[in-house]
Structure 1
């Protein structure tokens, strides 16, 4: 055996458990996402097959072989798909008792990404799916300072603010979910990419942000409507916050100026925002906060 192969085996021994736990959390989310509208169609089952292919290396690890057998059965038994879905969810839940690799928040975030994947699995986002996802988010508010929960929550809150989901909002949701819920169905993925080609999403401000000032680092970007950049920095310093001219690993909040942009709830553009989003995807806890929400928090403190 070569040294390279040996090192690979040693590495896999330590990583297989994390891969298995992440795969199960992803599947749980995909199943929940598929079930949100109460229907299971052929495209959604095909995406489950894609999950099997992607995680084939884990087939000899409990309970993956049984999960994959159930998914293959769902392909052929379309009349029994709803029941098979319940069996899959149940089997995932049995695995939970032995799953300790990830903390609860990380596991829930993996499930959330899976839910978005499941919603996107048939290339459509229905009103019912948006409403049911909103309920799931409400029940997991402990994730409100984590990416991507805060951004998904902000999007859903904005979409449902007028009580309806129009086609442009539907496309924005699809574009956002497509950012991190990568479909295994390449043909469907190309179709979605074509439909959302004109939608640009760079970053999304957190709705109802939880802001603390003492010892926290603030950075600013954009044009501010309510006060000058200097006045805002002075206010932050008075409350015990630190000021940074650029987004770094120590940045806690990036305050985004309104700039007269009517789409701020969906997209904030700029170099600092792009860097913050990139760092958030790497796991850094940087919150994007709209200037109106920033001032609401400041006023509540007086």
Structure 2
């Protein structure tokens, strides 16, 4: 055990990982047809998930995948066997003391599993739609509400074009922060489903709020960069703010950190119609 990490934090991290895995497992078999890319994503995610190193189900999954990959590839029979194991875990694993946060972790895991192969088909769309209908009480959450709204808009299309389908896929990938096909990494940046993507940025006379820990420098150093480019740093998000920039060193549990309230405030302002742009540090440094 990591002696530097409090027991309550270890328990919290494990619970989060368990519900993320629950969602991922549902996602990769949502269309009842597990494919190689989905299996590879699951393998990568499990190998990266330290809180589940001793979890019996995680061990069984890794053993099954390792055996299948002994010859370097999955056969159709091996994928069917792995899919059956996943289905059994989904059906028989018990979950206790479920909170709204647990369901949100499951939700993001579900999206990760669905789009891990860089596509979403009709069966997967229907599965996600049914999951949302079963958890309608979660729509107060900005992330869930955003996905639900996008799915309603997509369903309303008389005939979805390839461009419409690509836009939906991109939205879901951004929401979950997954870029597995592009990077080979299963982990998601905690801010990817919140931050905006922009084509250009003008610092001149822009009011900016910097929050979090930055790779570029200290808070004062990044603010100095913005000032040099003509911007005015502000302490907190408000209606007069144009940009909120979030440092790269963000914990997955950012909502529970000291700067989480600033991010939540920025999200609320943006949702209320204020033209505020939320940027990750990586996005911001493109324009300095």
- Shorter-chain TM-score above 0.5: yes
CA contact (8 A) 2:117 2:181 kept: no
**Structure 2 residue aligned with 1:81, among 68, 79, 82?**
79
TM-score (norm 1): 0.56
Q: Does 1:157 align with 2:152?
A: yes
Match of 1:110 among 105, 108, 120: 105
CA positional deviation for 1:33? 1.5
Q: Using the alignment, how far apart are the partners of 2:83 and 2:267 within structure 1?
A: 43
Matched-pair contact (CA < 8 Å) for 1:30–1:115:
yes
**Structure having the higher Rg:** 1
Matches of 1:84 and 1:177, distance apart in 2: 25
Cα deviations by residue, 1:242-268 (Å, 9 ceiling, x for unpaired): xxxxx9479699443xxxxxxxxxxxx
Take 2:144 and 2:126, find their aligned partners in 1: how far apart are those partners?
16
SS class of match (1:148): helix
Alpha-carbon shift at residue 188 of structure 1 (Å): 6.0
TM-score (normalizing by structure 2) = 0.58
How many angstroms apart in 2 are the aligned matches of 1:248 and 1:27?
29
Cα separation, 2, equivalents of 1:173 and 1:155: 7
Helix, strand or coil for the counterpart of 2:3? Answer: helix
Q: Show the counterpart of 2:259.
A: none
Instruction: Tell me how far 1:127 sits from its aligned partner.
Output: 2.6
Deviations 1:5-50 (A, max 9, x none): x9x5142532222222211211221121122222111111110111
| Distance in 1, Cα, partners of 2:6 & 2:67 | 30
Q: How many residues align?
A: 205
Q: Which runs of 5+ in 1 are unaligned?
A: 1-5, 191-199, 203-218, 222-246, 257-268, 279-302
1:32 aligns with 2:26: yes
- The 2-side partners of 1:220 and 1:169 are apart by 33
How much is the aligned-residue C-alpha RMSD, in angstroms? 3.7
Identify unmatched segments of 5+ residues in structure 2.
186-194, 198-237, 241-263, 281-288
The answer to which of 135-144 and 71-80 deviates more is 71-80
Task: Please report how far the alpha carbon of residue 173 of structure 1 lies from its aligned counterpart in structure 2 after TM superposition.
Answer: 1.6
